[in-house]
Amino acid sequence: MIETVDLFEAIRGRRTVKAFLPEPVERATLERLFRLATWAPNHHLTNPWRFRVIGPQALERMKEADPAGAAKLDRAPTLVSVAAASAPGADETVRREDLLATAAAAYIVLLGAHGIGLAGYWRTPALLREPVGRAAAGIPDDEQAVGLLYLGRPAGGPKPAPERAPLGDIVTFLD
C-alpha cells in the first residue's frame, strides 16, 4: 500500500506534544515506525540506529536513576531510547556520521508518528549521559545516546505553529 501525504505540510504540521492519552502505542505501530526510520540516510548503509522501547521495569530503573526527572518520564505512555552504534574501532568521523544518521532516523520516527495521528517529542535528558541512566535505558557503553522519544495519542487539540527564524538569519549563499 502506498500512502500519500503532502511532505511539506507534514513537516510544518508536526509539533512537540507533551500531553498524551494513557494508552501505549501498539507494538505493530512502533515496528512500522522503526521500519520507516531505516530509510534514514547513513554512510555505507551501516544502520547505526538502535531503538529500545522502555517497558515498565526499565522505566522504574530510569526513575530510580533520576528521581528529579521521574515526573517527566511519566508524560507519555510509550518511551523509546535512541542510540547510535558504530562498528568496533570506528574512527571519530564514522562515529559522528553514525550519530547524525541516527538523529535523522529519530526524526523520521517522530514525523511518521505525526503522519498516523500520534504525537511525540524528543528529549536529551542528562540521565542518558550517566552510566546508571544509560544502563536503565538499555544503552551500552559502546553506543552514543541520542535521546528519548516520547510517543502516544495526543491529549487536546493541535498546537499553533511557533515563529521560525527568517531565512536571512540562517541561510548564506556563497559564491
pLDDT in tens, 134-147: 999 999 999 999 99
Cα–Cα dist 6/160, whole Å: 19
pLDDT in tens, 62-76: 999 999 999 999 999
Cβ atoms of 80 and 137 closer than 8 Å: no
Helix (H, G, I), strand (E, B) or coil at 64: helix
Q: What is the DSSP letter of 7?
A: H
- The CATH label, of 3.20.20.70, 3.30.420.40, 3.40.109.10, 3.40.50.720, for the domain at 7-152 is 3.40.109.10
Residue 5: pLDDT over 80: no
Domain map (residue ranges) of the chain: 7-152
Look up the pTM and report it: 0.92
DSSP string, 76-130: SSEEEEEEEEPPTT--HHHHHHHHHHHHHHHHHHHHHHHHTT-EEEEE--GGGGS
What is residue 21's predicted lDDT score, i.e. its pLDDT?
Answer: 94
Cβ atoms of 137 and 81 closer than 8 Å: yes
What is residue 3's predicted lDDT score, i.e. its pLDDT?
Answer: 61
pLDDT in tens, 94-136: 999 999 999 999 999 999 999 999 999 999 999 999 999 999 9
